[in-house]
Amino acid sequence: MTETTIHGAHDGDDTAGEAQEVAERQETNLTKAAVQVLQADEDEELDVPASSRWDRATKRTVLVLLIVASAIMIWLASPVLPILIFAGIIAYLLSPIVDFCDRLHIPRSLSTIVLFVLLLVGFILLPVLLIPVLLTQLSSLGNYNPQAITRDVINWLGTSLDNLPELIKIPMLGLEFPIGNTLQELQANFQQYLVIPTLAELLNYIQQVIGTTTTVVSSTAVIGISVVGGIVQFLFTFLVIFFMSLYLTKDAPKIRSYVQSLFPPSYQPEFGELLRRISHIWQAFFRGQIILCLIIGITTWLSLELAGMPGALILGAVAGALEIVPNLGPTLAMLPAVIVALIQGSDVLGPMGIDNFSFALITVGIYFLIQQLENNIV
């Protein structure tokens, strides 16, 4: 092999090594650039400078300070805390509507005033429209004869006992139980000593119980003063909540800016993003709960109304209100409906031969179907 060939081979190796080093440097630079781009995208998404990132110790310190400050504020505001909470919830729910009007270049003060005037008109008209209907529903719930219902229950029990077999056999165990004769003897003894009080006797007993409590009230003037005082207190509380929620709704951006300004400037962007995300989550939660309560209440009312349930509107309102209670809410809402079905029966299904017990089972089925629709569709 000649000397020229040897030098050419060495030059080729050096060139290949340099090319490999250049490729590795380019790959490293590309990796760093990709990391920087991803970091920049993340910072741009959160709108938070990298220098203002909170480390774990800072987050824990801020959390402890917020908990302590919240506890102090709750202790100081405990006398008026329910009013503040209620007004804050109203303002919190209405702020998205006013924010939407603000994006349409409608003055925030004007949209807030118009919105609260509409709410006030609705608050006044709603009782005027609903009170007659509610009174009718309550009167339909009260139209029952307790003595006749007691007789019907006893007769139903007697018929059921008469249809029982006299002897129950368990062949696998070789046992026999004379259940029929035993129950019939108990029924005869029970009816022998049963004394059902009349409605007049019940009212007389209730009147005697009430008479023992009337000694606390010295005169009707005291009752009148307490009633007037309660009305005045209610109106005052209502006005305070109304105007407080109005101002909170109107000045919501200023309040957010003020709270954000309490933090160091380097942390304000991240804190603002945190407030925005928390606000979005809670607003969605409250809106979902309100919509769910309305859907369940209206669906229950229409279903019970079609089935001929007395007081369907009141029972639907109870079902909608108790929908807030997780797990137990639907069951608690079903209990009064089942009781009404057992006591009064159905105005629609009763003439068709459906007795009260069967209507109570139908009522349970209605509530069960509504609950299944809620779990699988709503």
Using an 8 Å Cβ cutoff, are 310 and 347 in contact? yes
CB under 8 Å to 162, separation ≥6 — which residues?
A: 184
* Average pLDDT in the chain: 73
H-assigned helices in the chain: 3-46, 56-76, 81-103, 108-142, 146-162, 179-193, 199-213, 220-250, 252-261, 268-307, 312-322, 328-344, 356-376
Q: What is the Cα 97 distance to its own chain's centre?
A: 21
Q: Which of 154-158, 220-224, 258-262 is the least confident region? A: 220-224
pLDDT of residue 346: 82
Task: List the chain domain ranges.
Answer: 149-216, 283-378
DSSP 170: E
Using an 8 Å Cβ cutoff, are 83 and 239 in contact? no
Residue 230: other Cβ atoms inside 10 A: 10
Rounded-to-integer distance, Cα 312 and Cα 6, Å: 104
Amino acid in position 33: A
By the 10 Å C-beta count (0-12 exposed, 13-18 middle, 19+ buried), 187 is classed as middle
SS3 state at 167: coil
* Most confident of the following: 15-29, 118-132, 151-165, 167-181: 118-132
pLDDT of residue 18: 59
Confidence class of residue 369 from pLDDT cuts 50, 70 and 90? very high
Which one has a higher pLDDT value, 100 or 198?
100
pLDDT of residue 96: 83
- Please list the residues that pair with 177 across neighbouring strands: 168
* Structure-block tokens of residue 74: 């709750």
Q: Which of 146-160, 189-203, 224-238 is the least confident region? A: 189-203
44 has pLDDT over 70: no
Using an 8 Å Cβ cutoff, are 340 and 310 in contact? yes
Closest CA to 340 of 48, 113, 144: 144
219 has pLDDT over 90: no
